Amino acid sequence: HLAELAARLLSPAAVSLGVTAADPAGQADGVAPTESVSAVPTGVAFLFGSERYGMKNEDVYRSHACLCIPTAPDYGSLNLAAAVQLIAYEWRQALGGFALPASGAPQPRAADAQAVAGLLAHWEQALVAVGFLDPAAPRKLLPRLNQLCNRAEPTEEEIHILRGVARAMLQTAAQARR
């Protein structure tokens, strides 16, 4: 009954590929999922065995080729859901993958050099006010903060957030001096 059903379901396919942990029937060398994509025309059917017992030899014989999913030696096979997911993913990637849909929101632009310079001047004032930066010996802190901003390419919104932090530091320092 199941053999007839499998034969009927596989008949429209140009090629049927049995997915098995190993080729128990000795039909042919197992092929990795990605290796099989280029050699197979359209009209492919994948034949998976049961979750508990895998593929029967008669099902392996019915297949044109066997796909073997490489696994760690300690784990000879994958569960059925994992095997289906892996085969579907590997074949889809080999056939061109999925293009990620374009986001409807425009990508934020990096802030211009003037905005970054304003931020750094504001931070310099705040760092002096809280005692973190000695204006008599600034060393390399400000050039390093400038490099950080250049690498991070902050947006206008991020510049506003960081200037808000600097403003809060200045206010806190002013209150502490009173």
pLDDT at residue 145 tops 90: yes
The topology under which CATH files domain 113-177 is Helicase, Ruva Protein; domain 3 (1.10.8)
Average pLDDT on 12-33 reads 60
Query: Which tens digits make up the pLDDT trace of 23-63?
Result: 454 544 566 666 655 555 567 778 888 877 777 777 777 77
The beta-carbon contacts of 68-77 under 8 Å, at least 24 apart in sequence, are 68/19, 68/20, 68/21, 68/22, 68/23, 68/30, 68/31, 68/32, 69/19, 69/21, 69/32, 69/33, 70/32, 71/21, 76/21, 76/22, 77/21
Nearest CA among 152, 16, 159 for reference residue 8: 16
Q: What is the pLDDT of residue 16?
A: 67
Contact 17, 65 (CB under 8 A): yes
**Where would I find the beta strands (DSSP E) of the chain?**
15-20, 44-48, 65-68
Q: What is the pLDDT of residue 83?
A: 86
Please tell me if the domain spanning 2-94 has the same topology as the one spanning 113-177: no
CATH of span 2-94: 3.40.1280.10
Contact 23, 60 (CB under 8 A): yes
Per-domain residue ranges for the chain?
2-94, 113-177
Query: Which tens digits make up the pLDDT trace of 81-127?
Result: 988 898 888 888 877 777 767 777 778 888 999 999 999 999 999 99
pTM: 0.45
